[in-house]
Amino acid sequence: MFNTSQVRQDFPLLTRPDSARQIYFDNACMSLKPSLVIDAMTEYYRDYPACVGRSSHHLGQLASQKVQAVRAKVAKFINASSEEEIIFTRNTTESINLVARSLGIKATDRILVSDKEHNSNLVPWQLLCQQTGATLEVLPSRADNTFDLDHFAQVITGARLVAIGHTANLDGVTVPISEIIRLAHSAGAQVLVDGAQAMLHQRLDVRALDLDYLAFSGHKMLGPTGTGVLYGKASLLNSLEPFLVGGDTVESVTYTDHKFLPVPERFEAGLQDYAGLLGLGAAIDYLSALDFSAIREHEYQLNHYLTSEVQKLAKFRLIGPEDPRQRSGVLSFYFDGVDAHQIALMLDNMSGIMIRSGQHCVHSWFHAHKLTGSARVSLAFYNTMEEAEQFIKTLTKINQIF
Ligand SMILES: Cc1ncc(COP(=O)(O)O)c(C=O)c1O
């Protein structure tokens, strides 16, 4: 059993006097932050607000050591072979763009994405293919929105890259990532995994999965906004062209030429969000101490309850497979003929329940399915059964109004 009441003590928002009206079900958009993350950021600004990797005075050295320690923590957390495989970015979006812009894609290349990608794992590839003449192919999901591995096995031959979301923010469905990577590698293709929605719910082991690239954001895994990571196998990162260049990426420069630093620094242009990175390190400390199998079961219990109760409501339509075990902590739905934003506003006004509504940056899927949007509940380990019950009570009232 996961001890929710204990972890809730760690989150300032959940211990406020009005916490009963802070029912936060928007974790796929942004997770809450535990105190130790906020404290780590404050500590940087208070105790060693200096440049990293530039200044040799004692504050500069301390800040550099602290940031380097975060790189080591990230590497350990995802089981990378070395710290050099961890590039700090601002978010998942930037990590994906970095790969897209640095791979040296040619007109003859084929890139595969699923039909449920977040705009951040679709638009960079669309633009790149428009500019280079490469081909972008969209893999259709099965009727229940799960990944079609048989189709994938038929089309993977000859592809240069598969760029795939590990867990969809649309409906919480996780793709069979090990099989995808195995099939892709045996066909000679590389795999970039958009791990934005995975990191709060499970541990990813990049070596066990034999991942080529993994992109994720700090803010969806208890960390600060503006922090992200790109993991890449050292051999692959060494073959990429730098994407953003300038200060901190070069070893030496003349008026006519420059020599880049080795990876990862050559990809980290300009002064970084050091306070944010220290917060990310604290988030990883926090996540590292959690029991993810207990979390999975806890989120399943909540989603199972929500799913079985909402299906009693006449207008309810679910996005994704019926089985909540296949939808991580996500319940994405709409009411026939009702604006999803209206549902979200009413939940908030009536009970302080915060969900996301709209197309969740997966516009392509909604356009293809001729839907205007959905209301999306996305859970985290600190959510409780009492909150789920309050949601059902409130949604039942809303259903009666329409
Ligand atoms: C699956 C997925 N990929 C990418 C992103 C983009 O993340 P960011 O805005 O942090 O770059 C998100 C954000 O919602 C997401 O859910």
With 0-12 / 13-18 / 19 or more C-beta atoms within 10 angstroms meaning exposed / middle / buried, residue 326 is middle
pLDDT recorded at residue 314: 84
In sequence order, what are the residues at sequence separation of 6 or more whose Cβ sits closer than 8 angstroms to the Cβ of residue 217?
91, 92, 196, 223, 227, 228, 229
Q: In the structure encoding, which two tokens stand for residue 270, read together? A: 């300009």
Distances (CA, A) of 283 to 158, 191, 287, 289, 388: 40, 26, 6, 10, 25
- Tell me the pTM: 0.97
Distance from the CA of 117 to the center of ligand 1, in angstroms? Answer: 10
* 23 and 353 Cβ atoms separated by less than 8 Å: yes
Residues with CB under 6 A from ligand 1: 28-29, 91-93, 118, 120-121, 165, 169, 194, 196-197, 217, 361
**CA atoms lying within 13 Å on the CB side of residue 362:** 29
CA distance 142 to 139: 10
What three-state secondary structure class fits 350? Answer: helix
Distances (CA, A) of 339 to 52, 143, 343, 371: 48, 24, 7, 10
CATH 3.30.70.590 corresponds to the domain 37-288:
no
Q: Which CATH superfamily hosts domain 4-25+291-401?
A: Aspartate Aminotransferase, domain 1 (3.90.1150.10)
pLDDT recorded at residue 351: 98
Distance from the CA of 90 to the center of ligand 1, in angstroms? Answer: 11
Give 109's DSSP letter: -
pLDDT averaged per 10 residues, the chain (length 402)? 93 95 98 98 98 94 97 98 98 98 97 98 98 98 97 98 98 98 98 98 98 98 98 97 93 96 96 98 98 96 97 92 96 95 98 97 96 97 98 96 89
Cα angle: 118, vertex 119, 121; to 5 degrees: 70
Domain spans, the chain: 4-25+291-401, 37-288
Query: Residue with the nearest Cα to atom 14 of ligand 1?
Result: 29
Q: Is 361 a catalytic residue?
A: yes
Distance from the CA of 91 to the center of ligand 1, in angstroms? Answer: 8
Residue 132: count of CB within 10 angstroms of its CB: 16
Report the residue among 361, 363, 364, 374 best suited for mutation to probe ligand 1: largest number of ligand atoms under 8 A from its CB: 361
Ligand 1 atom nearest the C-alpha of 167 is: 1
pLDDT recorded at residue 386: 97
Query: Residue with the nearest Cα to atom 12 of ligand 1?
Result: 196
